[in-house]
Amino acid sequence: MMYRAYQAYSDMMEPVRAMARFAQQTIRSPLNGFGESLPLRTLAAGFEMLSRADLTHQRPSYNLSSITVGNREVEVTEEKRLVTPFGTLLRFRKDIDTQQPRVLVVAPLSGHYATLLRGTVATLLPEHDVHITDWHNARDVPLEAGRFGFDEYVEHVIRFLDELGPGAHVVAVCQPCVQVLAAAAVMAEQKHRATPASMTLMAGPIDCRINPTEVNLLATGHPIEWFEKNLIDVVPDCHPGAGRRVYPGFVQLTAFMAMNPDRHMRSHLDLFEHLSRGEYDKAEITKEFYDEYFAVLDLAAEFYIETVQYVFQEYRLAKGELTWRGNKVNPGAIRRTALLTVEGEKDDICSVGQTLAAHDLCTGLRPYRKRHHLQPGAGHYGVFNGRRWQNQIYPLVRNLILSNEA
C-alpha cells in the first residue's frame, strides 16, 4: 500500500507541478518586460520550488560528452558492452589511439543511480579506459527476469570483469566493497583469467562491528523481519516491473534526508533566496545537486534484505562465514590482486576502520601489495567526489593502477 499511495500522490500532483512550471516560464519569459522585478522574481521562485517538489525515477545524464586528455579535448561516447536485465556494463569510450589501463568502477546500489559517481568517473577518465556498473531501476525489470540478490550482484561483478578481460582494475565505492572483495576472492580461488590486477575499496562496510555509525545501529536495532515487513513493497501495475517486490528508492531517500533535515531545509531556503534575487548561477549549483539527489531507483527486495542481513547484521564476510553459490568465500585466496583501501576521517556512514578491515581478511597478500589511506577532513562523499578526491586520493589510486599494469 505504501508504493500505491506514493504513486497516487505523485500522479495527483503532476498537473499542479505542470501548472507551476508553465507559470514560472511565463513570468521568466523574455517577452515579459517586468519578469526581473523583485515581486515577479519572487513569485517565479515560488512556482519553480513547487515544480521541483518531485522525484524522478529516470537515470540522469552523465554529462561526459568530452574530456581533456593531455592538451586536447576529446569526444566521449557511452558504449554498452554488456547488458543484463538488472545492469549495464557501460564504457566511456574516448576518441584516442593510446591504450590506457582498463578500470571497472563498481557503483553502489543504494537508492541512487550510478551517475552519483559522475565526479569519480570524470577524474579517472583522462588517464584510464573507464567502465561503470550502470544499475537499472528494479521497478522497470519484469518479473520474468528472475531474482537479483547478493549472489547475483557478485555474479555481475565477475561477468563484467570477465568482459573487460585479464589485467583490468576494479574500484568499488561504498556498499559494493563487500561484493567486490567477495568477487575477487571467488575469481582468485577459481584462477579466473580476469582476476583483477588491483582492487581499490573506498569507504565500504567490510566490517561494521568497528566504530558503528547511526546507519549500523539502525540495521542492528531491528530484526530482519522488521525490514521485510515495513520497508518492502510491491511495484504498482503501471510500471514494467509490476508485481516485483522492491525496496523503494523514495523510502531510501527519505531515510537519507532524515539524517540531516536541517541541512536540506537550509539548502532549499537558500535556493529560493537565490532565485528571488536573480542569483541564477548560485541557484544552478544547488539545483544540479538536488536533480541528482532526487533521482531515485528501487532495489530488488532480495538484494536489500540480504545486504542488510549479511553485511550489517551478521558480518558474514568479516567473520569468515560468507558464501557465494553455496561455497565459502575465502579472501585469503587473493594473492596477486593489489589492494588499496581508502577511508574518510569524518565519514558518518562508513566509519574509520570498517574498510581497513579488508587487510586482515586478505591474508594471502604480501605486505607490499597492501596500502591504506585515511583522508583527513573527508566525509563519506568526499572520499570519491570533490577536491580531496581529485587532489589527494586519486593520485594514490592512479599509482596503484600504474604499478600493477602488465
Q: Identify the pLDDT of residue 35.
A: 67
Q: For the chain, which ranges sit under pLDDT 50? A: none
pTM higher than 0.75: yes
Per the rule left: phi > 0, alpha: psi between -120 and 50, beta: everything else, 146 is left
Question: Distance between CA atoms of 370 and 141, rounded to whole angstroms?
Answer: 39
Question: Distance between CA atoms of 160 and 179, rounded to whole angstroms?
Answer: 13
- The CA-to-CA distance between both ends of the chain, in Å, stands at 54
Position of cell 562523499? 381
What is the sign, positive or negative, of the torsion defined by CA atoms of 255, 256, 262, 267? negative
pLDDT in tens, 313-367: 999 999 999 999 999 999 999 999 999 999 999 999 999 999 999 999 999 999 9
Are 159 and 300 contacting, i.e. CB atoms less than 8 angstroms apart?
no
Question: Distance between CA atoms of 21 and 23, rounded to whole angstroms?
Answer: 5
Distance of CA 372 to the CA centre of its chain: 22
Cα Rg of the chain (Å, integer): 22
